[in-house]
Amino acid sequence: MAIIEVSGLRKAYGGRPVVDGVSFSVEEGEIFGILGPNGAGKTTTVECVEGLRVPDAGTVRVAGLDPVADHEQVTRILGAQLQESELQEKLTVREALELYSAFYPKPADWRILAERLDLTDRLTARFGKLSGGQKQRLFIALALIGNPRVVVLDELTTGLDPRARRDTWKLIEDVRDSGVTVLLVTHFMEEAQHLCDRVAVINTGRVAALDTPAGLIGRSAHSTVISFTPSRPLGDDDLATLPAVATVERKDGRLVINGTNETVNAVLSLLARHGITAQELRVADATLDAAFLDLTAGPTAGLTTGPEATADLTQQES
């Protein structure tokens, strides 16, 4: 059953369309990712879901409720961590949890949340003294303190080191396993591939594709990567006859061929015909990076494809 339904959503700023006919639904209990480059319309879309922005056209429903007209009711079932979240530096973790708990008629027990999110030993620490990972765990706790059915996490792991990012992924999976639906906005391809049940790729304000991560990869022209070192050189003419080849790269005598499963069989047949041995042969599925680049052909400034890369989070819409 869909707990979030977005249909024909449109939003413009100064006459410039930022979200232009976006439609998708989120099933209860899944981690649903929204992926796209800077300026694609991701944050405006989720802010309409949260009731923080009024759509120019289209409809948004959260558990059947209009986030604008039924805003108070929606805040009882939806928790959110915004793209840029801050608290007063001198506020302690305990004070923040107690304050947010007071906003809800039936809040979760903040002590249990603190223990679950490994914050118990930081309750007396001031916000300004927390590490990036500790701040993110606190924001997850604050998003969950109202016992929501849905939680929106917007760029949650930006700025975290790889270990803190992995720890945060585990927390997101735990949130989903507790029965909460997660709407996750991210720049990180690896993050979306690891966490999401389904992904909507938004580009220039529109949904370019909606599928599982594996489904998106399978639709890419780069869905399979074949790499090997031939026992003797292969000519470009031989490689040009291979079916469904997207790219061929030569790196220090090693061949890296991007294609499909059909390409794998053709490569093996070609090698057998020429009596060539494929040394250190590796065949692997491509990552979501390649599928994303296929779907968003054109400028992709601000795209983050590696876990150590840092997104360019300016104040422009993302």
Query: Domains in the chain, please, with CATH?
Result: 2-211 (3.40.50.300), 218-296 (3.30.70.980)
- The SS3 of residue 43 is helix
193-196 contact pairs (CB < 8 A, 24+): 193/217, 193/287, 193/288, 194/169, 195/31, 195/33, 195/169, 196/31, 196/32, 196/33
Burial class (CB in 10 A: 0-12, 13-18, 19+), 161: middle
What is the spatial distance between Cα 66 and Cα 60, in angstroms, rounded to a whole number? 6
Check: CB of residue 226 under 8 Å from CB of residue 265. Answer: no
Give pTM, 2 decimals.
0.76
What are the C-alpha distances in Å from 19 to residues 13, 38, 191, 217? 10, 13, 23, 25
206 within 8 A of 11, measured Cβ to Cβ = no
Q: How confident is the chain (318 residues) per 10-residue block, as mean pLDDT?
A: 95 94 96 90 94 96 97 93 86 96 92 90 95 87 93 84 84 90 90 93 92 82 82 84 84 86 88 92 78 61 36 35
pLDDT at position 117 is 85
pLDDT value, residue 225: 85
Beta-strand ranges (E) seen in the chain are: 2-13, 16-27, 31-35, 57-62, 78-81, 150-154, 181-186, 198-203, 206-211, 224-230, 247-251, 254-259, 278-285
Phi then psi for residue 285, to 5 deg, are: -70, 145
